[in-house]
């Protein structure tokens, strides 16, 4: 017989797989390949963002995509936190479910902001069919901002909860399922503070680019591992700043 804890873990990984599957189906529906390159019907999503129904249908479709991205890309980064929570003497399945629920609620809120940004950029005509910004200066600016953010104290503060999850639970533990939900909300907010700039690079790689999503997920998972994250963050920031400067320069010189 499957124990409740094992069933919850199975549901957790099933949710990750389901989110990735949904993203794949959305990419196929928009007729883009795994690199986000458009096909004959790729204008479908763009039409939803800019057509007469953009205020309702377009926003809902784009929000659903960003919400799925949040689950697919960010739930794997939560593994160290959940493993640490399970080691607490007071841990139970209701508390673990509350942590996950609160965490996903925050990323659902982030999806609202990201969807609004995408709809707005589409209305301005600044995005191609894959959801990538077409202006080199904006692409370069996003890369530079993401790179500089890797050096910020706020990034360090938010990342510390993932690098030292036991310290988070010792300092902020709240009992019961409601307390677990609140901790999940706090963890989600810290995670958004840590990773929002990397997620925003979807507007550089293409928000329908499954290859970019996979690489970004791998980077964020590694960045939250205590043995790796402390030495990865700043070198990655340097690479992003240099890449952004190069992309912007290419745009200005017509290269």
Give the sign of the dihedral formed by CA 243, CA 197, CA 127, CA 204.
Answer: positive
Instruction: Give 53's contacts (C-beta < 8 A, 6+ positions apart).
Output: none
How far is it, in rounded angstroms, from Cα 249 to Cα 255?
8
How far is it, in rounded angstroms, from Cα 129 to Cα 55?
19
- Angle at 102 (CA atoms; ends 98, 108), nearest 5 degrees: 145
Q: Can you give the pTM of this predicted structure?
A: 0.88
Task: Quickly tell me which residue has 């996979």 as its tokens.
Answer: 214
Residues facing 127 on adjacent strands: 133
Contacts 24+ apart (CB under 8 A), 212-218: 212/36, 213/23, 213/69, 213/72, 213/73, 216/73, 217/72, 217/73, 217/76, 217/77
Q: Are 108 and 62 in contact (CB under 8 A)?
A: no
- Written as tens digits, the pLDDT of the chain (255 aa) is 467 788 889 999 999 999 999 888 877 766 655 555 555 444 555 555 555 445 556 788 889 989 999 999 999 999 999 999 999 988 888 999 999 999 999 999 999 999 999 988 888 888 887 788 999 999 999 999 999 999 999 999 999 888 899 999 999 999 988 999 999 999 999 999 999 999 999 999 888 888 889 999 999 999 998 888 888 999 999 999 999 999 988 867 765
- The helix (H) or strand (E) run that includes residue 14 is helix 4-29
* Domain ranges (residues) in the chain: 4-253
Q: Are 153 and 205 in contact (CB under 8 A)?
A: no
């Amino acid at each position: 017989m499957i124990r409740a804890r094992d069933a919850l873990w199975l549901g957790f990984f099933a949710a990750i797989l389901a989110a990735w599957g949904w993203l794949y189906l959305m990419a196929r529906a928009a007729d883009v390949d795994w690199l986000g390159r458009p096909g004959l019907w790729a204008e479908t999503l763009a039409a939803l963002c800019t057509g007469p129904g953009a205020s309702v249908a377009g926003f809902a479709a784009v929000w659903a995509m960003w919400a799925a991205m949040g689950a697919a890309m960010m739930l794997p980064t939560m593994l160290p936190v959940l493993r640490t929570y399970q080691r607490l003497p007071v841990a139970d399945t209701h508390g673990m479910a509350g942590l996950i629920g609160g965490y996903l609620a925050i990323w659902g809120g982030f999806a609202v902001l990201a969807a609004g940004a995408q709809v707005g950029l589409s209305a301005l005509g600044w995005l191609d069919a894959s959801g990538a910004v077409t202006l080199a200066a904006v692409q370069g600016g996003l890369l530079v901002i993401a790179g500089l953010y890797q050096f910020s104290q706020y990034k360090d503060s938010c990342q510390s909860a993932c690098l030292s999850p036991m310290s988070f639970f010792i300092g902020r533990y709240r009992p019961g399922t409601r307390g677990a939900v609140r901790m999940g909300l706090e963890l989600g907010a810290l995670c958004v503070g840590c990773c929002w700039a990397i997620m925003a690079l979807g507007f550089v790689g293409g928000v329908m680019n499954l290859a970019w999503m996979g690489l970004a997920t791998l980077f964020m998972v590694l960045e939250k591992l205590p043995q790796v994250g402390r030495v990865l963050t700043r070198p990655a920031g340097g690479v992003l700043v240099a890449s952004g400067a190069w992309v912007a320069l290419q745009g200005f010189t017509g290269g």
